[in-house]
Amino acid sequence: MEISQVIFLSLLISVLGGVCFTWIYLLLFMIKSITQSPRLEFIENVEKKFPKVSIILPARNEEEHIHNCIDSLLRQDYSDFELILVNDESTDKTLEIMKGFEKLYPSKIKVVNVTRREKNWIGKNWACYQGYLKSNGILLLFTDADSFHSEKTMSLAVQNIIHNKLDAITVMPMLLCNDFLTKVTLPILTTFMHTRFSPLKVNNAQSKIGYFFGSYYIISRDTYEKIGSHESVKHEIIEDGALGKKVKEGNFKMKMVRGESYVKAIWARNSIELLNAIDRLVIPLFKEKRLKASLLSISLFFLLLFPVLIFPLSLNSTINNPTLINFGISFLSGLILGILFITNLIQIQRTLFFNKIYSIGFIIGGLIIVSRFINRLIKSNTKSIINWRDRKYILSKDQTSPL
């Protein structure tokens, strides 16, 4: 074997070793996060008098889901709350459904119909802000129209706020999806989520990581106003994460808990929305830190696709030329694929709760994620347009603006 070939194969083993080590770390941290993260649960000996909660529910073209969402919120066993329904320029029957509920529960429900928003505001951010202006609760609960809530969710969340003297709490939901592509992609995305925005990091006062899940977070009115409300994140396409970051940066006390048994939220409704959702995560990265995002794209290729490409080639080489170095390459690449499969399987079993058969689709899921990153890398010098919930937004380096 020539020296150049030995050097190449040795380099290949080093790369695979790095990828393998990374996946072992991700797998172990994910398991730690899943098993050690606090859950939303009943707390004994908490004072019975709870503060008034204003539930702010923005919705745009949600006629398919909003009825069930509102119904689940009205069934909460928490006595003192108001429900503010904000119609965000819907073109379907969303407003009609809202007004129907308002007629049935006039003392409990307010409907806010947003027909115009100020320039440079992201639509949902403006809707949330308008809901806040109409609210009078001590605590503000923000949620999404495609989410569903157990009747005990609010009581348990407020118990946590009172008992732990929190300024904000966010609940990790069970993520729902219907189509094949989303089901093979979501386990990988949630793995990265469990490592980047794990409750173990968010709840650590020494960590700078702060994050809200848009499907469920409660924040005190005082804290919300001190961080600048939604006005301070009016340009952010991922406004919930940005608000959570501001809470943590302001040294307010926040907590993230697992609540898959209490809150369910639709992550992507079809394959097109899946791609748009990934773009919603990817494009801001390239606008803020292009070099870092480019390196991340390369890293994702090596983590998700490189072992898939190498394994069949190395296996064939090992069969034809059973040397120690060929065997090492085959073993490492096969081990990585095994870890990827196990990681997906654990996510599906412990957090996503759909059929385990989708755990073998990690190759397709990885291809989708990497392709969206590479696509954005190629187009990073061009105008970035995000399609999200029937609206288009233009991303510049400094802000996101409606098209």
Q: Evaluate whether residue 358 is within a structural domain.
A: yes
Q: Which of 183, 149, 178 is nearest to 348 (CA)?
A: 183
What global pTM score does this model have?
0.92
Total domains, the chain: 2
Q: Please indicate, yes or no, whether residues 283 and 250 belong to a single structural domain of this protein.
A: no
Q: Please indicate, yes or no, whether residues 82 and 222 belong to a single structural domain of this protein.
A: yes
Q: Please indicate, yes or no, whether residues 220 and 316 belong to a single structural domain of this protein.
A: no
Q: Please indicate, yes or no, whether residues 121 and 251 belong to a single structural domain of this protein.
A: yes
pLDDT of residue 240: 93
Q: Evaluate whether residue 399 is within a structural domain.
A: no
Q: Please indicate, yes or no, whether residues 12 and 61 belong to a single structural domain of this protein.
A: no
pLDDT of residue 165: 94
Q: What is the domain extent for residue 69? A: 53-173+213-269
Q: Please indicate, yes or no, whether residues 158 and 229 belong to a single structural domain of this protein.
A: yes
Q: Please indicate, yes or no, whether residues 294 and 263 belong to a single structural domain of this protein.
A: no
Q: What is the CATH number of the domain that holds 98?
A: 3.90.550.10
pLDDT of residue 400: 55
Q: Please indicate, yes or no, whether residues 77 and 223 belong to a single structural domain of this protein.
A: yes
Q: Evaluate whether residue 294 is within a structural domain.
A: yes
pLDDT of residue 329: 93
Q: Evaluate whether residue 185 is within a structural domain.
A: no
Q: Please indicate, yes or no, whether residues 150 and 82 belong to a single structural domain of this protein.
A: yes
pLDDT in tens, 249-258: 999 999 999 9
pLDDT of residue 136: 96
Q: Evaluate whether residue 79 is within a structural domain.
A: yes
Q: Please indicate, yes or no, whether residues 13 and 59 belong to a single structural domain of this protein.
A: no
pLDDT of residue 8: 87
Q: Evaluate whether residue 95 is within a structural domain.
A: yes
Domain boundary among the residues 269, 289, 312 is at: 269
Q: Evaluate whether residue 190 is within a structural domain.
A: no
Q: Please indicate, yes or no, whether residues 100 and 168 belong to a single structural domain of this protein.
A: yes
Q: Please indicate, yes or no, whether residues 78 and 24 belong to a single structural domain of this protein.
A: no
Query: pLDDT per position in the chain (403 positions), as tens?
Result: 578 887 888 899 999 999 999 999 999 999 999 999 999 999 887 777 789 999 999 999 999 999 999 999 999 999 899 999 999 999 999 999 999 999 999 999 999 999 877 777 887 899 999 999 999 999 999 999 999 999 999 999 999 999 999 999 999 999 999 899 999 999 999 999 888 899 999 999 999 999 999 999 999 999 999 999 999 999 888 899 999 999 999 999 999 999 999 999 999 889 999 998 888 888 767 666 778 888 889 999 999 999 999 999 999 989 998 888 889 999 999 999 999 999 999 999 999 999 999 999 999 999 999 999 888 777 766 666 666 667 776 665 555 555 5
